Amino acid sequence: MRILLLGASGQVGTELSRALKSVPDAEIIFATTSGLLNDQSCEVADFREPASVAALVTRLEPDVVVNAAAHTAVDRAEDEIEFSQLINAETPAAVARACADLGIPLIHYSTDYVFDGNGTSPYQVDHPTAPLGVYGSSKLAGEEGVRSSGAQHVILRTAWVYGNHGHNFMRTMLRLADKEQLNVVNDQIGGPTPAWLIADVTAELLRKGIGAGGTHHVVATGDTSWAGFADAIFDEAMDLGLIASRPVVNGIPSSEYPTPAKRPAYSVLDTTSLRETYDVSLPNWRDALRKTLEMA
């Protein structure tokens, strides 16, 4: 299976580079903004140019496209409305139309930020969307562009992504491990999800066949706050001998940690449709964290 992987250098893209090898007869074609991946040359897919990325898909004629590229800088996005729309919506839509023309499927990723976070029980896939900011709006427009393209597709919404590569909360906490005290928000609730899990599930879907596809949620099970996640990171990292000391985590309300983009207060996603459609099993977030740190 010839798999075109867009956004190969990101958190999820890096894990996909590993996981997609488990797809039978996988031939992975990597693409990044610069045409470089780990100092090796690869295809150029610059999402600032929708037509050129669509043309890449048409020229390569892969069997499937996996799109892990996105403008994920949530706070910067508030001042970059057109750019966010271009990277997160217009180019994914153009890629999806190219996939439809070739009659090939597209796997695309989206986010808990399509919801307003006012919920109190895990969001079902068909819960009404109501993004709070530019990033969420642009990702929602990307979903709609993929859905209306006519391409066979799977949209995997995920949340609170972290891992051993790239910029993420876990790595930030480990960098701050020598502090004595740390204030961390305790009134936002979500399911921390390692990039390797999203990539492994993607590969599993390709091995099983994506069938009718549709929109599904892929997150580790259970939930916690950012402060709870920070505590767990320090506990597990101490236990594994990855850090010599750890800070005391003080839970604070979001109002004491203002950010340009408003975050959803409640970001827990219901994964029933993914589990029932594809018979996928998902680990608890705490077990997934332990496994991630063991791989560090």
Ligand X SMILES: NC(=O)c1ccc[n+]([C@@H]2O[C@H](COP(=O)([O-])OP(=O)(O)OC[C@H]3O[C@@H](n4cnc5c(N)ncnc54)[C@H](OP(=O)(O)O)[C@@H]3O)[C@@H](O)[C@H]2O)c1
Question: CA dihedral in degrees (27, 205, 263, 169; nearest 10)?
Answer: -60
The reply to whether 48 sits near ligand X by the rule CB under 6 A is: yes
How far does CA 60 lie from the centroid of its chain?
25
Q: How far apart are CA 212 and CA 266, in angstroms?
A: 29
Least spacing, CB of residue 17 vs ligand X, in Å: 11
Q: Which is nearer to ligand X, 80 or 235 (CB)?
A: 80
Count of residues of this chain found to bind ligand X when the rule CB under 6 A is applied: 27
Q: Among 11-19, 20-28, 117-125, 239-247, which window interacts with ligand X (CB under 6 A)?
A: 11-19
**CA atoms lying within 13 Å on the CB side of residue 102:** 22
**In the bound complex, what is the minimum distance in angstroms from residue 245's beta carbon to ligand X?**
27
- 3-state class (DSSP) for residue 99: helix
Q: x/- binding map, residues 59-78, to ligand X, per CB under 6 A?
A: ---------xxxxx------
286 binds ligand X (CB under 6 A): no
Instruction: State the pairing for strand pair 224-225/189-190.
Output: antiparallel
CB half-sphere exposure, 63, CA atoms < 13 A: 13
Enumerate the active-site residues.
135
Residue 263 is a binding residue for ligand X (CB under 6 A): no
* Calpha distance 202→277 (Å, rounded): 13
- The number of C-alpha atoms within 13 Å of 18 and in the hemisphere containing its C-beta is 13
Cβ atoms 31, 43 nearer than 8 A: yes
> CA 257 from chain center: how many Å?
24
Residue 214 Cβ vs ligand X, minimum distance, rounded to whole Å:
17
**Which of positions 78-107 make contact with ligand X (CB under 6 A)?**
87
Residue 233 makes contact with ligand X by CB under 6 A: no
Q: Which residues contact 159 (CB under 8 A, 6 or more apart)?
A: 111, 112, 190, 191, 193, 219, 267, 268, 269
Q: Is 109 among the residues that bind ligand X (CB under 6 A)? A: yes
For the bound state, the minimum distance from the C-beta of residue 111 to ligand X, rounded and expressed in Å, comes to: 4
Q: How far is the CB of 59 from ligand X (least distance, A)?
A: 17
DSSP state of 206: H
Q: Contacts with ligand X in 139-158 (CB under 6 A)?
A: 139, 158
C-beta closer to ligand X: residue 124 or 245: 124
Question: Does 227 contact ligand X by CB under 6 A?
Answer: no
Residues that bind ligand X (CB under 6 A): 7, 9-13, 32-34, 45-48, 68-72, 87, 109, 111, 139, 158-161, 166
